[in-house]
Structure 1
Amino acid sequence: MRRRSGVILAAIGLGLAGCGGEAKAPGGAWQSQMGEVRMAVRGSEDDPMITRRLTAYKTYIGKATGLPVKLYESSDYNGTIQALSSGQVDIATMAGGGYANVDAQIGDLAQPILTVRQAEGDTGYYSGLLVMADSPYRSIQDLKGKTLGYVDFNSTSGYLFPRSVMREQGIDPDTFFGKSSFAGGHTQAVMALDNGQFDATIIQAGGGDPEHGFTTGAHFTMARRGVVDLDDFRIIWTAGPIPNSAVVVRTDRPQPFIDAVRGAMAALPYDDPEVWRDIGQPDGAAYTAVTREHYTPIIKLRADDIAARRSGERQ
């Protein structure tokens, strides 16, 4: 019998906190082989409902597989990436940049199976360049020589994707801005901007598009909590759409397990709309099937960025 996941994770220092799960008796050969479902998620620092959402997710997957589910919540992007890459969890939800990292480490041993499709049919979101509303900055060009806050090196919308688009537009992000650094998360990036640590920061924006505006993102969630005032901020530049986050599984797990999870999660918004809302998904959205090819552009962006850094072309 394999050792308990929590002990292994603690021993290798992944920084993941086991949330626990209700014990159930395995009901078949593959259930007996697995014993439990281990699922990694990155805790959303801007979401006050995270505990409720994780509990709802855990309960639903447990019913679908007939196995106890343990959720391992990581405090940063790398924790989730390493948990899946090292095989300490069976399944994880991660953004395209995180999956690209996993793909670079273990290749076909991990495979995206689902992503969220919005009611309008879109399967993407955006990076936004956020400034204070009372600042003089009206375009990205106004930020030459100014300070910029990124989210995290492994963040798709908060680092990897917007930097690529800047280069396409003739802006070298390593020399254009006077200084740049990582805030550590989307909420931290907004707070750092609000506190005057940056002139601008990169954030995630969704629930809309550049033409019609957005309705989701860290600053929207923080405003609903009363932490900030939406009117204090302004998005002056966008990049996207970016492929939505993926549900990624280890392909060395039993195929019946992968099929059960894929089917149950695809049916979730229809079978249990309340749980769907509890995990933060909007009405009208649903899961749709994807493969590695859906994230090929992000995989290439990450590989190109790392190659340029190693060659000394980028800072």
Structure 2
Amino acid sequence: MSLSWMKSIGVVVAMLVALVPAAQAETIRLAVTDLVGLEELRREFGAFKDKLSEVTGYDIEFLPVTNRTAAVEALRFDKIDFVLTGPAEYVVMQKRAQAKIVAGLSRPDYFAVIVALADSPYNSTEDLKGSKVGLGDVGSTSKHLGPVQALADAGLNPQKDVEIINTKVPVLWEALKRGDVAAIGMNHLNFLSLRQREMEKSGGLQPGAFRVIARGPDLPNDVLMAGKHVDEKVIETVRLAFTKHSDALIAAILQGEDNQKYSGMRFITGVQDSHYNYVRAMYATAGYPEYADFIGE
């Protein structure tokens, strides 16, 4: 075979290769349940999405959801592939959509507390019987369900022994200081943040003005979950990325201003469904033993 003929073949092969489109990366769709709108998703999790895409080789597309119910329905009908959500949302989504755990986002100091004023007559949960207790947003793991269970763990029946009032955490704080409620329940880190701001403002109360009269155990992890339709190889690729590139992915998450709640977090890849039985107990304590629907929606 002549050299010129071989060159001609080489040219033809090169032309054919050039005509073949490059293989496109597989696209996976990601939602985050506590964020509404594409702009908010990009602001808080844009860096994380880009880094996860880089280390997995998948194209990742944000899919905004209007609420938690919309998210679970999208999972059920294969409209989204992965959802980042909290413990209270996980148990409902797992029941209704048979979604699978990919990895947990372990948050330090993530537990519920019941707080009273130090100079009030409320020194224990037993003292709260017959009183008003303020809690955070209905259905929140750490601001509503967690405090409800903390009361139950301490021997109260939250549905009978106290009057529960749900509102925003800053409103709860002011209600406690005014004496409108006997105690308030919230996330421990919310409490520390509010106490710090109180101390720093002119005429504010000092930390010793407040007393924690009950606290729950560390709550289960926030979780990245996958729809039952997602291929196991895809799930394993994403899970492996959290092991191999943990520090880079955490740094990407922490670029979001509202994501500072994840400061100090670690990815946990050995999370089991049974770890969320305490959350299921919360639903039962709050009067929703089936945990098939999101409270407040």
Alignment-mate amino acid for residue 245 of structure 1 = D
Are 1:39 and 2:36 an aligned pair?
Answer: no
After superposition, where does 1:221-232 map in structure 2 within 5 Å? 221-222=193-194, 231=207
Asked if structure 2 preserves the Cα contact closer than 8 Å seen for 1:193 and 1:200, the reply is yes
Are 1:155 and 2:140 an aligned pair?
Answer: yes
Paired residue for 1:113? 102
Residue 42 (structure 1) shift: 0.9
CA distances 1:276-314 after superposition (whole Å, capped 9, x unpaired): 5434333473433213222234335535742499xxxxx
Alignment-mate amino acid for residue 288 of structure 2 = I
SS in structure 2 of the partner of residue 104 of structure 1: helix
CA distances 1:89-130 after superposition (whole Å, capped 9, x unpaired): 322222222111112322x2x012211346xxx8x7321002
After superposition, where does 1:43-54 map in structure 2 within 5 Å? 43=35, 52-54=43-45
In structure 2, relative to structure 1, the CA distance for the partners of 1:219 and 1:300 (3 Å cut) is: closer
Name the CA distance, whole Å, in 2 between partners of 1:220 and 1:168. 22
Asked if structure 2 preserves the Cα contact closer than 8 Å seen for 1:268 and 1:276, the reply is no
Are 1:289 and 2:270 an aligned pair?
Answer: yes
Q: Residue 70 of structure 1: which of 57, 62, 65 is its match? A: 62
Name the CA distance, whole Å, in 2 between partners of 1:235 and 1:222. 14
Paired residue for 1:200? 183
**TM-score with structure 1 setting the length:** 0.65
SS in structure 1 of the partner of residue 148 of structure 2: helix
Name the CA distance, whole Å, in 1 between partners of 2:127 and 2:23. 60
Alignment-mate amino acid for residue 296 of structure 1 = N
**TM-score with structure 2 setting the length:** 0.68
Choose between structure 1 and 2: higher strand proportion. Answer: 1
Unpaired runs of 5+ residues, structure 2, are: 1-21, 292-297
CA distances 1:26-83 after superposition (whole Å, capped 9, x unpaired): 724xx1xxx4523223149xxxx99753222222233234314215265x65565555
Are 1:245 and 2:222 an aligned pair?
Answer: yes
Q: Residue 128 of structure 2: which of 143, 168, 188 is its match? A: 143
Name the CA distance, whole Å, in 1 between partners of 2:69 and 2:41. 19
Name the CA distance, whole Å, in 2 between partners of 1:60 and 1:71. 17
CA distances 1:204-229 after superposition (whole Å, capped 9, x unpaired): 12xxxxxxxxxxx2233456778976
Name the CA distance, whole Å, in 2 between partners of 1:57 and 1:188. 32
Q: Residue 157 of structure 2: which of 169, 172, 182 is its match? A: 172
SS in structure 1 of the partner of residue 47 of structure 2: helix
Paired residue for 1:182? 166
Paired residue for 2:19? none
Alignment-mate amino acid for residue 274 of structure 2 = E
Paired residue for 1:258? 235
Asked if structure 2 preserves the Cα contact closer than 8 Å seen for 1:26 and 1:66, the reply is no
SS in structure 2 of the partner of residue 142 of structure 1: helix
Are 1:298 and 2:290 an aligned pair?
Answer: no
Residue 200 (structure 1) shift: 1.9
Paired residue for 1:27? 24
Paired residue for 2:190? 218
In structure 2, relative to structure 1, the CA distance for the partners of 1:133 and 1:61 (3 Å cut) is: farther
Name the CA distance, whole Å, in 1 between partners of 2:172 and 2:238. 34
**Bigger Rg, structure 1 or 2:** 2
Alignment-mate amino acid for residue 69 of structure 1 = E
SS in structure 1 of the partner of residue 32 of structure 2: strand
Residue 239 (structure 1) shift: 1.4
Paired residue for 1:99? 90
Alignment-mate amino acid for residue 141 of structure 1 = E
Asked if structure 1 preserves the Cα contact closer than 8 Å seen for 2:45 and 2:253, the reply is no
CA distances 1:10-32 after superposition (whole Å, capped 9, x unpaired): xxxxxxxxxxxxxxx9724xx1x
Unpaired runs of 5+ residues, structure 1, are: 1-24, 206-216, 310-315
